[in-house]
Amino acid sequence: MTDHSRAGAARHALLVSACVLVGMALIGTVLGPVWWLLAPDRAVGTALGDGRVFTGTAGEVFAGEAYFALITGAAGMATGYAAYMVQFSLARYRIQDLRMVFLVAGTLGAMAATVLTWQVGTLIDAPLHAAAAAAERGESVTVGLDLRATSFLVVWPFLFVLQYGLLDGISALRSDQPGVLPPAPDPEPPQAVEHPRSPRAADPTDTSATPEHGQTGTEDSAP
């Protein structure tokens, strides 16, 4: 591969990485309002002062976090499948292996997207969070949407990598990895060409092919 082709491949990989990161971030931004809409009614708790609220075992709090895990989990499976299919098509078109490019960029994008989903969803409930922060101790307040179990932030990246790796494993078993050229077959050894035997040249010393001495092709005439 020439230096010019290497530079072109590197520029293409960087462009693809940027597109994947931006696309994943946009998906995360859109899923923030989706989480806010699908989450059940907000929990009601008791203000403890300094912005803290005691909700006890209110089911609304756990349900909101469960919806976050379900939404980001579905997004991880969907984006993992879509990313592999897109890179498969691009790699076949350009004959360039883009699997690692999409894997790294997609994983980083999934991490950014899940944080954006969390922040955008809680930002919509900013008035409820402000009211809870300003409430006096012992006052009953409505708790805005939030994510206390921050371990759910790894659901999207984990399922993205899992789905992407599963598809790549299937492709490896089928030996059709995109952008990976199959090894060139070994050249077959030249086969010996049998030439037809040429008629044997007449040997002047060989008398087998000549008439016997004293014989002619015509009968001798009488004297």
The tens digit of pLDDT for each residue in 19-31 reads 999 999 999 999 9
Write a three-state SS string for 71-117.
HHHHHHHHHHHHHHHHHHHHHHHHCCCCHHHHHHHHHHHHHHHHHHH
The share of the chain scoring above pLDDT 90, in percent, equals 34
Q: With the CA atoms of 160, 166, 167 and 168 taken in that order, what torsion angle do they form, in degrees rounded to the nearest 10?
A: 100
| Residue 94 vs residues 13, 89, 100, 102, 214: alpha-carbon distances, Å | 11, 9, 15, 15, 87
Cα 93 from Cα 202, distance rounded (Å):
67
Distances (CA, A) of 109 to 4, 27, 98, 103, 187: 29, 10, 16, 10, 45
Q: Are 160 and 80 in contact (CB under 8 A)?
A: yes
Residue 104's pLDDT band (boundaries 50, 70, 90)? very high
Angle at the Cα of 82 from the Cα atoms of 30 and 167, rounded to 5 degrees:
140
Q: What is the pLDDT of residues 43-56, one digit of tens each?
A: 777 777 666 776 66
Kindly report the number of other CB atoms within 10 A of residue 128's CB atom. Answer: 17
Distance CA 102, CA 90 (A): 11
> 0.85 exceeded by the pTM?
no
Mean pLDDT of 131-140: 73
